[in-house]
Structures are given as C-alpha cells and as structure tokens.
Structure 1
Amino acid sequence: MPRYGVAALADLLPAIASAQGVPGLTTGLTLEPADRACVFLVDGLGWEALSAHPEEAPFLGSLLGDAQGATGRPLTCGFPSTTATSLASVGTGLPPGEHGLLGYAVRNPDTGELMNQLRWQPWTDPHGWQPHPTVFQQAHAAGVATCQVSAPHFEHTPLTQVALSGGTFHGRLAAEERMDLAAERLGAGDRALVYTYYAELDGHGHRYGMDSDAWRGQLQYVDRLAQRLAEQLPPRSVLYVTADHGMVDVPDTAAARFDFDEDWELSAGVARLGGEGRLRHLYAVPGAASDVAAVWREVLADQAWVATRDEACALGWFGPRVEARVRERIGDVVVAMSGEAAVIASRAEPNESALVGMHGSATSAEQLVPLLEVRAQ
C-alpha cells in the first residue's frame, strides 16, 4: 500500500517547501530544512532495481540507506505506479484521488471516451481536469526562486501545465546541460526550488527490459548525471534524487501475457479497457460490473488483485480521499497485476503490448522509489 501522508511521492515537495517557509503545506514526511533544494527525478528508477545494480551505479549506491553515513530510503510512489499519476502527485503534493490523474488511460465521465493522461489525447481542458495549484506555484508566490529544467518539448505540454508549472521553465536538450543549469539556478536565490528530469532510463526499460545491456548502460549514465549535479551544489543546498515508479520485466509467454483481445472471458461485459498492462481500469457495460469482477478473479487467480471501484476506494489505493469529480474516472473494476504478469491488448494496443518492461501495479518493484540525499554546507 502507498504510504500516503507519511512516505509517498506526494509528500516530498510539501516537506521541502514547508521547510523553506511556504505556508499551507502539511505532510508527515520530515526532511532537514535547506534554503535551496533540487529534485532530480529519474523516470523508471525503482528502489529495488537500483539496489540490485551497485556496480552500474556506484555514486547512487553510496547514498542508499545501507551505505555508511547515507540517509537514502524508499518512498512509495502512489497508485497506479505510472508516470502521469506520479508526476501529478509530485507537483501538486496530492494523492491521486485528489489530483485526479488515476492512470495511463482512464474514461472521461463527461464524454465516455478513454483519455490518455500522458499524451493528453483526446484533448481535454487541462485545468478543468486537474484544478489544484502546484507546489511550485505556491512556492513561487511565497518568494522562493522556483524553476523547472527539462527537455524543451515538455514546456507546453498539458501534463506540465497541471502537474509541474510554476516559476520559470528552462529547456535544454542535453542532459549534462540540464544538470549544470539546475545547479546554476539553485544558487540564483537565497531560497530556491529546482526540478529536473531524465526520461531515457524508463524508455530503455520498456523497450529492452532491465535485464539488458541497454538498460544497464542507461543506469550508468544516470549515475554520472547525478554525481555531476551533486558536485556543483552551491552552499546551503540539498539534492534529492527520486523517481516516479519502478518496473518489472514481463516474460514473452502466454502464461505471463493475458491477451484481452483474444480472450472472450476477459472481454465479456467490458465496454472499455483502460489503464495499461500492469494496471487495468475495466469499464463495464451497465449492470455487468460484479460479473466482470468475478470472471477476472477466476481467470487471473493469483496473478492479480481485483477490486471493484468501491472496494479500491475503501482500501485507500488512490489515497485517503477520492474527490467526487474524479471518482467515475476509476474503472468499475480495478485490476492490479502481481508477479510478472500483464494484461495486454494485442490488436488495440500493439505497441504497448510489445513492451518488455512494464509498470503500474502495486508490487514493491513498482511501488518503491528512492529518496537519496546529498547536502552541501
């Protein structure tokens, strides 16, 4: 279960900003105050995967909690463990049930269509979909020098608008330039909050799997980037390295890949299939939700946790509170895969179905992300 309010991604920025004197932010996560703080978010860097590869990531490994003098610890990313959901949690400081980005693709209750919250298709008014202010906006209003340093193409995306906006945006293509500029901007004010991001570790995990030279090479590169940034920290600053989710490799076998498009039992009674391979939102035809839940429990057996919408909300999967405006975005049935299995859709989602590495569910490999800390005096 995500540790909302205590040790979840949604608690990170409120803990940082409140320690900088930004009012109105509360969290149970306690961090040592710093005038200047930088968050370096590495897409797809799970705690378990990082811990399992000390040779590829010696610098980051030296920050893990089992290293001498290190304070690194895992956070839970929240549910589902996917990029759109986690970035919204990071930026707003809210659990998914409040910010409303509840997965990779969910049904828009107003139109009945599936809305991809990463690509923002079909177009939906961003601030109508997610109306809460970001922590960056609140910090900027409180006089903290706030900025985002990322790839230029992210500047005007709807996801950036609703999750990460506030202060200034600095676009740089080269990751090394982003690290250098993040350190520079960190020293630009007496109080500063800087966010920077790297995406390609996740991309290589999806395409090649974590048991690949390509993924390990990316981890080595991420390690060098983090060290480059850490070595340039100005005085009175702290660097936090974290991630939006972990990942699991899904074997290319029929036993591990349940194909919704080829399985009449799984597709019966399902009007729309949302989510992604490791976490599915099932939108049932009217009156069929309980039957759909029963069939999926039987077919998937011990390969998944299957809950109705009411059960998932009551269990707190999406946070302690689910706002009324977002409740119907949740599937009538929610399916979180365990082990290494996935529910693919070979015809409707050919590209996603071919991925090796996947995420979205509630296993520790997907849920646990690092919170690694480097401080400059």
Structure 2
Amino acid sequence: MSLMLPPESSSARSVVGVAGDLFSALRGESATLPRAESVVLVLIDGLGAIGLRAHAGHARALTTGMAKKDVAHSVFPSTTAAALTSILTGVWPGEHGLVGYRVLDAERDLLVNQLSGWESDGLDPETWQPAPTVFEAARREGRPTFAVGVAAYAGSGFSRATLRGAEFVAARTPAERVEAAYELAERHPGSLVYCYLPEVDKAGHKHGIASHQWVSALEDIDAALAVRVPPGVGVLVTSDHGMVDVPVNRQVVLDSSHLEGVRHLGGEPRMLHVYLEPDADADAVLARWRADLEGLADVGSRAEGIASGLFGPRVTDAAASRIGDLLVVARGSGAVYDGTAADQRSRGMVGQHGGLTPEERQVPLLRFGAFAR
C-alpha cells in the first residue's frame, strides 16, 4: 500500500501554525486568539490528545474545559526532531529539512542523528536547519525572547538549530520551568517565552503510557500548570507528538533476506527511512518490502511520500536528499527493527512514535491566561 496522510477535517489545525498564532496575538491581529501583552508557549513533549483525555483524572488543570476542538495535528514523521522544529520555525519538515530521527547525509554517505548527534555527527545547526526560528523573527520586531528548559540542553546542536534568537534560561523541575516562564513574560512586556517540558516523553519511552511512571510525570506537569497565569499573559500549551505502547508481540524483526539491496536504515522503528544501494533495483525492493510487511506496515517510495504531501507542500532539494528511497510506516501498535545488535537495544523502548496513527499525530492545543475562553 502506498503512503498518504490519513483524512483530516478541512478545519483541522496544524502545529506548524502555532508560532504564527502567537505573533498575531501579540499584535492584536489574531482571528482566533485575544490580544496578549506577552505570550508563553508551553511544549509538553510526547503528550498526545488521546492519551491526555484517557488520563483526564490525573490532569485536571489541563483538561478542565478542554473542548473537542482543542487539538492540533503534528507533522510527519510524528517525531521530536521533525515536529518540534516545525513548531519553532513555522514551516513543514520538507522546508526545514529535519525529516526524521536519523537520516542520511548523502554527501558523506553517513547516517546522522538529528536529535542528539549534532556534535558527534558533525552537523552545522545553521546550515543543516536553515529556516529562521520564531525567536529570530521576534527579535527582528524588537521583542524579548526566552527559552526555558533543562540545563543539559543549553547550547546543544539541536537547541542551536531550533532556539536561535532566544536567551536560554535553565530550570530544574517542571514547576520551576513554568514559574520562570511566567515570571519572564510578566517582567518583559511584548515578549515571547518558550517553556519545554520533556518528562512525559521520557517516562513514556522507558515505561509506556500505561505505566504509573507516565501518570506520575503527567501529574507533576499538570500541577505545574495549575498555578495562576500573570495578568495580560497568554499561554498556549501543546505538544510535538503523542505515542503508542509497542508490545513485544508487535515487534517485527527483519532478517538478512529482507535487507538485500539496503545500504542504510534510518528513521526509527515506527517510521523507517530505507536507503538503497546505488545499484539496487528500487522497484523490486519496494515490491518485496510491501509483500513482506503486508498488514504490518505501509511501504512507499520517496516520490510517493513527497507527492502525497507527507512532508508538507514544499520539499527542498536538501530535504529530499535526506528522505529514504523507501518509507516504512508501522501500522497499529507495531514497530520494525533491522535485527542488528545496535537495533536490538532499542527494542526495550515501550512508548514509541513517528507514525500516522491519531494517537501519535493528534496533540492538545490548550489556552490559558489571557487566551482562556
């Protein structure tokens, strides 16, 4: 089966438009948000709208008053490198070029990790991710900009690719980060403040979204966001993606016969970028993978993925060079592994994302403070 985005309502919002909404609210020009003196964007990594609603009793501050329409759709792949960059640049992965977790640097014939491998894999954040960030756009308007996050992420390659233009402020706990973000917004009228909360994502990957550890992380974040928002400050709370739990019996492990003609496997188990050997018969490999993974995953070519708009309405040459010859999207709660020793280590990850299910692509879009209805 070839690849295409699942049908969505014509009125469905995308996370790509969040930055534009915030700018419009600061100017008093938004059709959807009231004017605000300052704005705070809270990003809860890994929190899907479906998972949040299913655990509403553990997240009363977030879900009280949450309407059916308070959702947005993430990008493809539904993974942090692609989605967070789209949120913070306002463009689709096909433009900013972060089209997956691990992708091919064709010039060096090297798989690079676009989340944590910037330094080790030799990526230049300003050229590998060329799109201006929302913080750079705010600076051009003379607005103060801040990014509140975990100290370990200050100055990382991914932060330099996505947070350019923002003054980084480190805080330890979710409560301390939210408090710092609100204080900055109140103290600097006209400012744009970003607050990053990764705890739910980390708990989900390690323990799954059905675990008490995931629920505990959600409760901590909900408590952090239950505090009073300063007057005049508008707060949008969203996420980059949700996730699904992958049980052991839904792990598909490819053997050497499946990998004939394959040079590199990138992406992640829920959405593989498959890069072929230069002399491989691409059509034959595509047909074989579709047959081998029938009912388990949808398999398409790079051309099909681009033509169907998976990576957005425009795909640059640089982004296209990073997209696999084949794209393999796991169905349901499955995941696909290549059977190598390195890949086997990742099979212990319970909560995963990257695919096209509603659990992965529907994220909350909640309004607080000056934005509250």
The two structures have a TM-score, normalised by structure 1, of 0.91
1:316 aligns with 2:309: yes
Report if the CA contact (8 A) 1:126-1:161 is conserved: yes
The structure 1 residue matched to 2:241, chosen from 234, 240, 245, is 245
Unmatched segments (≥5 aa) in structure 2: none
Counterpart for residue 87 of structure 1: 84
Question: 5 Å matches for 1:297-316?
Answer: 297-316=290-309
The structure 1 residue matched to 2:266, chosen from 262, 267, 274, is 274
Report if the CA contact (8 A) 1:149-1:172 is conserved: yes
The structure 2 residue matched to 1:8, chosen from 11, 14, 21, is 14
Report if the CA contact (8 A) 1:258-1:342 is conserved: yes
Partner Cα separation in structure 1 for residue 84 and residue 185 of structure 2:
21
CA deviations 1:51-77 (Å, max 9, x no partner) are 1111111111114105xxxxx611111
Query: Residue 295 of structure 2: SS of its match in structure 1?
Result: helix
Counterpart for residue 60 of structure 2: 58
Partner Cα separation in structure 1 for residue 12 and residue 91 of structure 2:
12
Counterpart for residue 149 of structure 2: 150
Counterpart for residue 196 of structure 2: 197
Equivalent AA in structure 2 for residue 252 of structure 1: V
CA deviations 1:125-160 (Å, max 9, x no partner) are 111101121011111220222111111111101111
Counterpart for residue 277 of structure 2: 285
Partner Cα separation in structure 2 for residue 248 and residue 91 of structure 1:
24
CA deviations 1:285-322 (Å, max 9, x no partner) are 12332222211211111222211000000000000010
1:353 aligns with 2:359: no
Report if the CA contact (8 A) 2:175-2:225 is conserved: no
Query: Residue 321 of structure 1: SS of its match in structure 2?
Result: coil
Counterpart for residue 106 of structure 2: 109
Partner Cα separation in structure 1 for residue 11 and residue 21 of structure 2:
10
Aligned-residue offset at 1:196: 0.5
Partner Cα separation in structure 1 for residue 35 and residue 335 of structure 2:
42
The two structures have a TM-score, normalised by structure 2, of 0.92
Equivalent AA in structure 2 for residue 269 of structure 1: G
Equivalent AA in structure 2 for residue 266 of structure 1: H
Partner Cα separation in structure 1 for residue 172 and residue 261 of structure 2:
46
Report if the CA contact (8 A) 1:293-1:307 is conserved: yes
Aligned-residue offset at 1:334: 0.6
Report if the CA contact (8 A) 2:28-2:36 is conserved: no
Partner Cα separation in structure 1 for residue 35 and residue 348 of structure 2:
45
How many equivalent pairs are there?
Answer: 361
Report if the CA contact (8 A) 1:76-1:369 is conserved: yes
1:96 aligns with 2:93: yes
Counterpart for residue 372 of structure 1: 366
Report if the CA contact (8 A) 2:262-2:275 is conserved: yes
Aligned residues: percent identity? 37
Query: Residue 101 of structure 1: SS of its match in structure 2?
Result: coil
Counterpart for residue 69 of structure 1: none
Partner Cα separation in structure 2 for residue 112 and residue 221 of structure 1:
43
Partner Cα separation in structure 2 for residue 54 and residue 75 of structure 1:
18
Aligned-residue offset at 1:355: 0.7
Question: 5 Å matches for 1:213-228?
Answer: 213-228=212-227
1:295 aligns with 2:294: no
Query: Residue 161 of structure 2: SS of its match in structure 1?
Result: helix
Query: Residue 267 of structure 1: SS of its match in structure 2?
Result: coil
Aligned-residue offset at 1:110: 1.2
Unmatched segments (≥5 aa) in structure 1: 67-71
Partner Cα separation in structure 1 for residue 179 and residue 90 of structure 2:
26
Report if the CA contact (8 A) 1:226-1:241 is conserved: no
The structure 2 residue matched to 1:363, chosen from 353, 357, 370, is 357
Bigger drift between 118-127 and 97-106 goes to 118-127
Report if the CA contact (8 A) 2:300-2:328 is conserved: yes
Partner Cα separation in structure 2 for residue 116 and residue 291 of structure 1:
28
Partner Cα separation in structure 1 for residue 296 and residue 72 of structure 2:
24
Aligned-residue offset at 1:5: 10
Partner Cα separation in structure 1 for residue 34 and residue 313 of structure 2:
26
Aligned-residue offset at 1:30: 4.0
